[in-house]
Structure 1
Amino acid sequence: MKKKFVWVACLVALAGCGDNSKETSIQGDIKGLGNDTIYLYGADGNYERIDTIIAKEGKFDHTVQIDTTTSAILLFNHTTQVPVFLNKKENIKIQGSTDALEFLTFEGGAANEEYSAFQQTLKGLGKPSEKVWQEKAEEFIRSHHTSPVSIYLLNTYFVQQTNPDYTKIDTLIELMSGTLQDNPVIEQIKESLSKAKNVAVGRTAPYFSLPNAKKEMITRTGEFKDKFLLIHFWASWNEQSTEANAKLRKINRAYKKNKDFGMLGISFDVNRKAWKEAIKQDTLTWQQVCDFNGILSDIANQYAIQSIPTNVLIKPNGQIAAWNVSDEDIKRIVAKKDAN
């Protein structure tokens, strides 16, 4: 699965002393974890802090000050994100193994136990397809109108997808209770979907002007005017981008002599040196641009990028032809123009 952007503003602050009546404890016993650091950060705007949890021989015991029900994320090994739902005066116990962090078991707090039960229903399915994950998530949402777990599942399995089903998402949001609909994450989802609809297939691609390695400003209406343009969104820090770049090299070899087709890489790097090294290492000979603002780049917002690597094919008239196209998709779409 692609690495997703976490569309959450996490503010780093000191964990100060507070009222003991608001304390929530998180205890864990996870085989294979050893002596490691786990990061805890907010996922819904109600917990704007990053805490570090120190594990010793796979066990940890951490206390946080909580005023109201909130969703958070436990980050293991700097890569695996596991949701945890916090409420004041709860004692949460987590067990499992690093071999299957997605199937940790939780005790303490209704939402945690609901999520744990949901994950266990999937455990026996082996490696379910994305469609199966969505079906199971929809079943849960439809039967849990007041659970914060429903928001997490909606965001994970429906919103952060390559081609979100806007109608389905709107329907599932409408099923949720008023309390859930007031959640900051739902507001973020609605805003994100509004932006995504602006770059749906058939809509005009947003204008951009971004610098290449020579600091020349590159635009769609410049050297790519009246051409099909395949834009690839990537970053040197994203592992999946290397694999995607290998596939793009094949596409470039097949179309580099086609005067009606162009390619452009737009990176979400923040480090110029790392960006240049990745371009050289991955042999990216087509045009590359980057403004070094990372995922906060205006282009990420304009094109409603939810994950990378991602690509979009734009027609010569500026309309969006398709998202996340394969070489077969390109052949079909370009051939259709040639046939007209």
Structure 2
Amino acid sequence: MPRNLFLLFALLLLVSCGEDSKHFKIEGRLLQMNQGEFYVYSNDQCVNGIDTIKVQGGRFSYEIPCTSPSTLTIVFPNFSETPVFAEPGKSVEMDGDASHLKMLEIKGTKDNELMTSFRAQIAAASPPEAKRLAEAFISGHPDSPVAIWLLRKYFIATFTPDYDTAGRLMNTLLKNQPGNASLRLLAQSVEKLRTSSVGNELPSFTTYDINGRLVSSSDLSVGTAVILVWATWSYDSSDLMRHLQNLYENKKFKVLAINVDPSKYDCRGYMKSNGVNFPVVCTGDMFETPVLKQLGLQSTCDLLLVKNGIIRGVNLSTPDLDKELSN
């Protein structure tokens, strides 16, 4: 009988380990946030849409199915974002102060600890210094998913993209991660972004807005047009949407806004409450929205200024955009 009990225990242990190897868990504590919530999404489909993580008594726990390495993005109430690198069968501990998220610590796996170390390294760095440190990190850790995230943040999805440096670093990453499908897709997007650089023609596309009306590149190729990527959960892009709506009342330029929310309901709610009356594309596919890929756009706040079919500005600051639209 004891032998049978031992075999049963061993079998249960194996089964439980098998299930655990297909999940990833985040547990954490945030000072200055006793109760609240924040959001998590993934560009590589590990998370379906956007999930909500609830904070109770300053602590939280979040577990998802995970069968392959993935990069999650946490969006905090102040709209700042931080990556979490998920691995099957692993768990991490997140510890920080909600009023000082730059010093957030995530421990439990090598990649998350590398990101924690980099975060501490740039805490007091100027933007140019942070970019230099990011380039050094990418060159020194070309086999890490952290390098891919830093490449996107500092050289691609920024107000001043550096596609030459991005292309050089991308080649290094591809040599060290030849089987990484997400990295190959990012490389393809960078090539498309080069075509969406200042001085080039607006790439050809056809799509439908949230109300089913046809929108195409030819509609935006006469006069001045602004193409913006936005989300209701992104403060900066939502603020830019409101700014464009105020300017749009003069009807001196065209706007196409591409929404990356997973829910058309949330998008429609924002449009109604803010009186948005220019075309908005919302397919629910988030960053996999087809027209985004056609234009090579990557992130919320990505912006193209088009004049007579030629791209004249990319990711302009609000003052620079205002100046261009007033000309």
Length-normalised TM-score, structure 1: 0.69
Q: How many residues align?
A: 297
Task: Report the CA distance shift for 1:42/1:219 in structure 2 as closer, same or farther (over 3 A).
Answer: closer
Please, which of 182, 187, 190 is the counterpart of residue 190 of structure 1? 187
Matched, 1:265 2:255: yes
Aligned-residue offset at 1:142: 1.3
Matched, 1:203 2:203: no
Report if the CA contact (8 A) 1:38-1:54 is conserved: yes
Report if the CA contact (8 A) 1:30-1:96 is conserved: yes
Report if the CA contact (8 A) 2:230-2:241 is conserved: no
Which residue in 2 is equivalent to 1:9?
none
Report if the CA contact (8 A) 1:232-1:266 is conserved: yes
Aligned-residue offset at 1:220: 6.3
Aligned-residue offset at 1:314: 3.0
Please, which of 137, 146, 150 is the counterpart of residue 147 of structure 2? 150
Rounded to whole Å, the distance in 1 between the matches of 2:83 and 2:211 is 43
Report if the CA contact (8 A) 1:25-1:92 is conserved: yes
Deviations 1:240-299 (A, max 9, x none): 34456547856986xx7xxxxx5101133545564255246xxx7xxx223543656554
Matched, 1:30 2:30: yes
Which residue in 2 is equivalent to 1:300?
292
Mean Cα deviation higher: 203-212 or 319-328 = 203-212
Name the aligned partner's letter for residue 278 of structure 1.
N
Which residue in 2 is equivalent to 1:278?
274
Matched, 1:290 2:286: no
Name the aligned partner's letter for residue 224 of structure 2.
L
Which residue in 2 is equivalent to 1:19?
18
Please, which of 292, 296, 313 is the counterpart of residue 322 of structure 1? 313
Name the aligned partner's letter for residue 107 of structure 1.
K
Matched, 1:313 2:313: no
Aligned-residue offset at 1:57: 1.1
Task: Report the CA distance shift for 1:54/1:310 in structure 2 as closer, same or farther (over 3 A).
Answer: closer
Which residue in 2 is equivalent to 1:166?
163
Task: Report the CA distance shift for 1:19/1:196 in structure 2 as closer, same or farther (over 3 A).
Answer: same
Name the aligned partner's letter for residue 263 of structure 1.
F
Deviations 1:136-156 (A, max 9, x none): 211111111222211111122
Rounded to whole Å, the distance in 1 between the matches of 2:209 and 2:67 is 48
Task: Report the CA distance shift for 1:96/1:266 in structure 2 as closer, same or farther (over 3 A).
Answer: same
Which residue in 1 is equivalent to 2:114?
114
Report if the CA contact (8 A) 2:189-2:297 is conserved: no
Which residue in 1 is equivalent to 2:8?
none
Alignment of 1:68-147 (within 5 A): 68-77=68-77, 79-88=79-88, 90-125=90-125, 128-129=126-127, 131-147=128-144
Rounded to whole Å, the distance in 2 between the matches of 1:246 and 1:48 is 31
Report if the CA contact (8 A) 1:42-1:72 is conserved: yes
Rounded to whole Å, the distance in 1 between the matches of 2:29 and 2:78 is 18
Report if the CA contact (8 A) 1:268-1:293 is conserved: no
Task: Report the CA distance shift for 1:34/1:199 in structure 2 as closer, same or farther (over 3 A).
Answer: same
Percent of aligned positions with the same letter in both sequences?
20
Rounded to whole Å, the distance in 2 between the matches of 1:80 and 1:115 is 16
Aligned-residue offset at 1:133: 2.7
3-state SS in 2 of match to 1:305 = coil
Rounded to whole Å, the distance in 1 between the matches of 2:181 and 2:129 is 28
Rounded to whole Å, the distance in 2 between the matches of 1:149 and 1:40 is 17
Aligned-residue offset at 1:103: 2.2
Matched, 1:60 2:60: yes
3-state SS in 1 of match to 2:198 = coil
The structure with more helix, counted as a fraction of residues: 2
Rounded to whole Å, the distance in 1 between the matches of 2:69 and 2:205 is 41
Name the aligned partner's letter for residue 140 of structure 1.
F
Rounded to whole Å, the distance in 2 between the matches of 1:307 and 1:64 is 24
Aligned-residue offset at 1:97: 0.9
Which residue in 2 is equivalent to 1:230?
225
